[in-house]
Amino acid sequence: MLQRLAGPFRRFGFFPGLVLAIHRVLSRRSPRLGLLYHDWMVQPIPEKPLLSARRSQAYETREIPKGDPLIDRMPIRPEIRVSRFAQDAICLGTFRNDELVGYIWLSFGTYEEDEARCTFILEPESESVFDFDLYIPEKHRMGMAFAAVWDGASRYLRERGVRYSYSRLDHFNRKSAAAHDHFGWKQVGRAIILRLWSVELIVANVHPHVSLLLTTSQRAHIKLVPDALREAG
């Protein structure tokens, strides 16, 4: 028992470990309770393909529209699917021999987070996207699927003049952080989010620094800006 309690502190340090330990206690009592630790990241859209021409020819990336049977088979709660399409998010699927090997969701200009009640306003608006829920089916996780999804998404975004891709990272998801590090990830914000049924308290290192949301209709509006643009401003 002591080893289990000490595990988060050994892996992540005192403060993150404490956050994770509290979250585990709360979430066991109810799925509507929790203490989240989110990092908000930005990365530049690469100017060159991530895969060689030979490898990229094996994959096809295209939009998966609302109503496509593939959407219904994704491990996403039905109400979340509805909310994503309601905010005009799109799903990009990557295929090999007509088999889906991975997908990623994209939201342009603004994004309404579905794990916390945050609405992100992206700067510069015409050149930014929020990417989320990158998913690779288990059978494809040991191959090139992750790189292929990012290669296809990057090509799709370059064609639309997008330069920056924002995303939300669970602070404890070291595997995802490592996978993106070589793409030039930079942190642009961080928040601790306390969920108590319908109430959320968000404490962040970007404006607004503290948001107390008492009803499910309230959301915190958070502007994300790359460091280079923030410094220039």
| Number of CB atoms found within 10 A of residue 26's CB | 17
C-alpha to C-alpha distances, 59 to 94, 146, 170, nearest whole angstrom? 7, 12, 29
> Hey, where are the domains in the chain?
32-232
The model's pLDDT over 175-225, given as tens digits with 9 standing for 90+, comes to 877 776 767 789 999 999 999 999 999 999 999 999 999 999 999 999 999
pTM of the model: 0.91
pLDDT for 208 equals: 95
Give the span between the Cα atoms of 60 and 82, in whole angstroms: 25
C-alpha to C-alpha distances, 124 to 35, 75, 110, 114, 227, nearest whole angstrom? 30, 32, 11, 22, 12
The model's pLDDT over 114-125, given as tens digits with 9 standing for 90+, comes to 999 999 999 999
What's the DSSP call for residue 69? H
Q: Where are the strands (E) in the chain, listed by range?
A: 33-44, 60-64, 90-96, 99-108, 110-112, 118-122, 128-135, 164-170, 186-196, 199-204, 210-213, 220-224
Per the rule left: phi > 0, alpha: psi between -120 and 50, beta: everything else, 205 is alpha
Give the right CATH number for 32-232 from 3.40.50.2300, 3.40.630.30, 3.30.465.10, 3.40.640.10. 3.40.630.30
The model's pLDDT over 108-152, given as tens digits with 9 standing for 90+, comes to 999 999 999 999 999 999 999 999 999 999 999 988 999 999 999
Q: Which residue type does 187 have?
A: Q
C-alpha to C-alpha distances, 90 to 45, 61, 115, 170, 228, nearest whole angstrom? 17, 13, 18, 22, 28
What's the DSSP call for residue 46? P
